[in-house]
Chains A and B, each alone.
Chain A
Amino acid sequence: MRRRDFLEIVTFAAGALALPRIARALPETSKLAIGHVQHGGRWNPRPSALRRLQWELAQRTSIETEADAVPVRLGQPGLHRFPMLYLAGDGALPPFSEVELAALRRHLQYGGFLLVDAADGSDGNGFDASVRRELARLLPSSPLLRVAREHVLYKSFYLLEHQGGRLAVKPWLEAQVLDRRLAVLYSQNDLGGAWARGQLGDWEYACTPGGEAQRETAFRLGVNIAMYALCTDYKDDAVHLPFILRRRS
């Protein structure tokens, strides 16, 4: 089958396709639920953000998601039930205890993934300064490094060229690498602020300077991040390269 035929069929023949997965009973444990890390600072500055991201994931991709994220504490049992963690903050982050750091380190070393999101737009102060300090304690031998534009993260679902978020503090993401995979991903652009949506359906925060396009990019980046957490470097497999290069050219 030619690619164009495939795309037409996939795009226009949706009505003809059965939707058995919707009708099936899906165990809660089979769905993606992001673990939202509770800490001593303002840990939940965008309460609706992850709910909206998970909803968008379910709408846009084949990932099955829970309705909302689940708050988790680093030192408490059950952390590994959530291989994908989200750590956000507005303002300074109190230091983690050694027990908490050890638990998070073990989580990441055995394959876990942590998305860190600075909600306060700080750069060198506030949340940014404190979370950099904590990440250095967390993985001292894996410093935060910029994620290259060519990284699979930017093509794990959407082909992305730009950063998204409520703000545009940094035009890049940073990451700590373990076993050649991104274990910790850090955005200073308040992704959660772009994702947050109120009960009445209105966006809680305006995205500046790019407006709604920047918000859409934030969602696409969120999708790519979740896709990366679940599929890692799948889109780096040789079979994908010709298609991706053709679309990017």
Chain B
Amino acid sequence: MESGYNAWRFTSLSPWPHWALALLVVAAAGAVLLAWRGLRSEPRLGRRVALLALRTASAILAIFLLAEPALRLLQTARVKNRLAVLVDSSRSMNFPVEPGGPPRIETAATFLRRHRGELEALGDRVSLEWHTFERDLSPADPSALARGVPARGGRTDLLGALKAAAAGGGSGRKLAGAVVISDGADNAALAEGLTPSARADLRALGVPVTAIAVGAGAPKDLAIDRVAVDDFAFVRNTVTVEVGLAARGFGREEVPIVLRREGAVVARATVKLEPGKERYTVPLSFAPDTTGTFVFTVAAPVYPGEAVAENNARSFVLRVIRDRVRVLLVAGRPSWDERFLRALLKQDPNVDLISFFILRTSTDLAGPQEELSLIPFPVSEIFGEQLRTFDAVIFVNFAYQPYRSLDIERYLPALRDYVKNGGAFAMVGGEQSFGEARYGQTALAEILPVDAVDGLGIASESFRPRLTGEGRRHPVTSLAPGEAANESAWGALPPLPDVNRTRVLTAGTGARVLLESPTVMVEGRPAPVVAVREVGSGRSLAVTTDSSWFWGFMAAEEGGSNRAYQRFWNNALRWLVRDPALTPVQVEPDRPAVEPGEPVGLSVSVRAPDYGPGAGAPVRGELVSEDGRVVAHADAVAGPDGVAHLELATPGPGAFKVVASAKPRCSGGAPCPPDAPVERATGAVAARASGPEDADAAPRPELLRAIAEASGGTFSTVDRGLPEVRLTDPEIVEVGRRKDVPIWDRAWFLAGLVLSLAGEWILRRRWGYW
């Protein structure tokens, strides 16, 4: 062989494509076959053989010359493949090998000290690589591994580690094998075992795995290892939280499980443990009574001798929303105001409307009761047990007094308490509203946004209401984006014909007048037309006219649209029931729960008073513990999109309220006075006491055995020592140089072809075939 080359192989230099060469081979075979058929009648064997031999020789020589064979000389070299030794450094390796035994990581180090020599002896066939692995793969020093490395990883990903090792190195050298020393407590792709797809992935790697199991017996431990619940639930609808409980090393104990919402127990159950059974599923059901985002915690008691105490509780965040806004509409008599408001609410698919109208008073002479479709007013039902089921209660020109037999006044304190405890109430004007119905002397006076003094009467004069300073910014009176457009929209509406005269409440009551009459004065101040109030946890609204339908039906005649009416009442209802979309500040944690030690990421969205992005607004985010202490805070400035991102370090595990505050009026580069109003939004986040590594302390040698078998490797335990380490054959790698030496271009090949063809031709002539 020519110097510099150490391998060769045949190749074809023919420019013809493969299919053309194949056709030629077929044609050559056909030529030989035809010759054989034509010679079947030849009685002399010698002639038959001679002619057939000459045809065959011609066919072979023709194919040889057309295929242009050559020798390819190669310069190749053998290289060593890799053997990766992977040592599990996840936190579960801190658990004891067996109850009362040394930590698994320590046992793994002992194993390495004992067998390091055997592994290094494989170095003449493969090059050794040493790694620790948990979520990712990290190179490690073998001496350090033998001494013992800290096990701090928050996740165990066996398949990921093998894939990373197979792909790693960057040298292009193949991984010939892997030695995995682990407890097998995978909580990533193999958490559910070696699934068919995981098995296929493993086989595709083509790496025989020598698996060494660390740990055999599970320590005594009780763990809430799984909480299955939807991301959101509907208020007042039962939601079931499915809790997975793992118990090892217990007898026939009864374990109480509680579900707490920010400290208060909302559901509880008891699980009877049975020897030999490790996993239990516990359903916990409850009906959330208020909307919002809350942290819930499922907890079991910590028993003496447990391996991990932190995994006995698990927190999660649940967003409680309403399915539909349930509105109670009570009207004192049929009127156009009631008619158009009912139609608006009825056509809204998000509103579940319950209406009660007084169609007949005691003085009306309608005829026999059985000929009427009227029903008794179910006062005790709607103002008693059903009241809390409503998101908002609206009184349209409804007086409590005329129906003394029904004793509605008795229920007004309950209505007041309903609002203070988070409900919503609106009173709409008319001759049976506000002071005209003496509501100023009832419990409702404590929640109404105006002072409904008796005897002020109704002003029957046409006026066009105007926005107050508060009304220019408030979402209830926002008919169009931007202050100028909004004022213009209000100015374009038809004038109102009347207004209930009420007094403005004093400062400090939480009441705000949004719309007022510039001409109707009450004690020297403009009469409120629309006013709102935050009282306790609830909200109230006053519309002191029975002609708000003028903004719809009447406006449609003049301006061709009733959108202002729809917008006003939609705004009002959404504000009353605290629609999150109306708040100028909103906060959303990046994730509802974080692993131990992870920071909490927050996105705080700020909207300017004109509902545009609150760019440049100063933002603060706080984590508040269950006892009300601010445990972490951070400040930022909203970006051009009105969103600020914050990261808060958690002080430890637990459930935290997230409070974001911002000054939306300080956005857009506007000067920020110190007394600019601060808007707030709240959310919730859970910092887990235990991550997946701590949730289940049991080793999984069966998973390691399955990995070894599926990959064509071997399995052992640290006690039994190092088994045979299987490796794939070393690969021959072409280093670079090659050279093609033609072998077809010799003259005698052509001469041979000519001679064989000529010979056959001559013999056929002589023997009389032509």
Which residue numbers of A lie inside 8 Å of B, CB to CB? 1, 3, 6-7, 9-11, 13-14, 16-22, 24-30, 32, 59-64, 77, 79-81, 83, 103, 106-107, 110-112, 155-159, 179, 220, 227, 229-235, 237, 239-240, 243-244, 247
Contacting A at CB under 8 A, from B351-385, are 354-367, 369-380
Please report the C-alpha to C-alpha distance between residue A243 and residue B374 in the assembled complex, in whole angstroms.
8
CA distance A76 to B34 in the complex (A): 108
Asked if B270 lies at the interface with its beta carbon under 8 angstroms from chain A, I say no
B436 interface hit (Cβ, 8 Å) = yes
User: Would A11 and B369 count as touching, CB distance under 8 A?
Assistant: yes
Asked if B431 and A24 make an inter-chain contact with CB atoms under 8 angstroms apart, the answer reads: yes
A-B CB pair tally, cutoff 8 Å: 187
Contact of A27 with B497 in the complex, beta carbons under 8 Å: yes
Q: B343 within 8 Å of A by Cβ?
A: yes
Least Cβ–Cβ distance between B220 and chain A, in angstroms: 57
Q: What's the minimum C-beta distance from A19 to chain B, rounded to whole angstroms?
A: 6
- The SS class assigned to the B binding surface is loop
* B332 x A110 contact (CB < 8 A): no
CB-based contact B355/A234 at 8 Å: yes
Which one of B336, B431, B457, B554 contacts A21 once the chains associate, using CB atoms below 8 Å? B431
CB-contacts of B310-357 with A (<8 A): 332-336, 338-340, 342-343, 346-347, 354-357
Partner of A18, one of B334, B402, B498: B402
The number of chain B residues touching the other chain, given as a range, is 35 or more
Q: Once the chains are docked, how many angstroms separate the CA of A60 from the CA of B379?
A: 23
Q: Contacts A27-B460, A59-B364, A227-B359: A107 and B336 contacting too (C-beta < 8 A)? A: no
In the complex, A50→B733 CA distance in Å? 106
Whether the Cβ atoms of B354 and A27 lie closer than 8 Å is no
Contact B431 A111 (CB under 8 A): no
Flag if A61 contacts B339 (CB, 8 Å).
Answer: no
Q: Residue A7 contacts which of B342, B367, B376, B560 (CB distance < 8 angstroms)?
A: B376
Label chain A's interface by main secondary structure. helix
Determine whether the beta carbon of B360 is less than 8 Å from that of A17: no
Q: What residues of chain B lie closer than 8 Å to A107, measured between beta carbons?
A: 557
User: When A1-B376, A61-B366, A232-B342 are in contact, do A19 and B402 touch as well, CB less than 8 Å?
Assistant: yes
CB of B339 within 8 A of CB of A229, answer yes
Chain A min CB distance to B399 (Å)? 7
Q: How far is the CB of A81 from chain B (nearest CB, A)?
A: 7
What are 15 sample pairs from A and B whose C-beta atoms fall under 8 A apart?
Answer: A3-B376, A6-B376, A20-B401, A59-B364, A60-B365, A61-B360, A80-B557, A230-B335, A231-B338, A232-B342, A232-B346, A234-B342, A234-B357, A243-B374, A247-B370
Partner pick for A25 among B375, B457, B547, CB 8 A cutoff: B457
Q: Is the CB of B553 within 8 A of A237?
A: no
Which of A14, A158, A227, A231 has the most C-beta atoms of chain B within 10 angstroms of its own C-beta? Answer: A231
Whether B592 sits at the interface, judged by CB under 8 Å, is: no
Whether A61 and B553, one on each chain, are in contact in the complex, defined by CB atoms closer than 8 angstroms, is no
Complex interface: chain A residues within 8 A of B534 (CB): none
Determine if B553 and A111 form an interchain contact, defined as CB atoms under 8 angstroms apart: yes
Smallest beta-carbon distance B53→chain A, Å: 97
Q: B371, A243: Cβ atoms under 8 Å?
A: no
Q: Are A159 and B380 in contact (CB under 8 A)?
A: no
Cα(A217)–Cα(B430), bound, Å: 32
With A80-B556, A106-B560, A157-B372 given, name 12 new contacts (CB 8 A): A1-B380, A6-B377, A9-B405, A10-B362, A17-B362, A20-B402, A20-B436, A25-B460, A30-B335, A30-B498, A59-B365, A234-B355
A77 CA / B375 CA spacing, docked (Å):
40
Say yes or no: A21 contacts B373, CB within 8 Å: no
Partner of B498, one of A29, A60, A110: A29
Contact across chains for B553 and A13 when beta carbons are under 8 A apart: no
